[in-house]
Structure 1
Amino acid sequence: MRILPLISLTAALTAPVASHADVLLLDSINRAPPNSSAGLERPAGGESMETVLSRYGEPSRRVAAVGEPPISRWVYPQFTVYFEHSLALHSVVAR
């Protein structure tokens, strides 16, 4: 019967840590620049590699595709673009 108080104590001590981590995550998301003219413009999902290349120029580094479906990435100084086949999935601001 001494196990129940131990479980209760463990739960009580770990609950504040989990809720604090959620707040930190939300804070970092809110600080990221939006994908608009007011923030850092970067490729949107669905853009082709050709469109990204013509709008943003040659990336500083191209990382080869891995996995199935093949996911590749182009690294620019201010952001990284992730592609599935030849379409942009997402772009991430460099920190």
Structure 2
Amino acid sequence: MFLALALSTGLLLQASPASADTLLVERVRAESGDMPARGQSMAQVEKHFGAPQRKHAPVAGPGDRQHNPPITRWDYAGFSVYFEHSHVVDAVAAKASPNEIGPKPVQ
């Protein structure tokens, strides 16, 4: 029994990520105070963060606007902001480096 426990512990230690890896989730938690908050208007976001690097055209799903509202994305250097109509629904951090583990940036 002791041998089985020692072997399983050794296997778990080998499966852990390298200490040099930076997790996107950890960085986002640390930087979350420096991104737009849910519910802010486009005007508030632009006043606080300046003009975005790129404004994407609104995209709406099929059918009526009530159930598929237009979603607009603004890209800044370190994050993207998603708006439903003219209010923030989410802000998503971009990868800081190629070594950061997390989603790939949208091309």
Q: TM-score range by the shorter chain?
A: 0.5 to 0.7
Q: 2:38 aligns with which of 29, 34, 45?
A: 45
Question: Does 2:44 match 1:57?
Answer: no
**CA deviations over 1:40-77 (Å, ceiling 9, x no partner):** x0101100000000000000000011113000000001
- Map 1:6-21 to 2 at 5 A: none
Q: Normalising by structure 2, report the TM-score.
A: 0.56
Q: How many residues align?
A: 66
Q: CA deviation at 1:29?
A: 5.8
Higher strand share: 1
Same amino acid, percent of matched pairs: 40
Q: Normalising by structure 1, report the TM-score.
A: 0.63
Partner in structure 1 of residue 87 of structure 2:
87
Gaps spanning 5+ residues in structure 2: where?
1-21, 61-67, 96-107
Between 1 and 2, higher relative CO (CA 8 Å, sep ≥ 6) is seen in 2
Higher helix share: 1
Computed over aligned residues only, the root mean square deviation of the Cα atoms, in angstroms, reads: 1.8
Gaps spanning 5+ residues in structure 1: where?
1-26
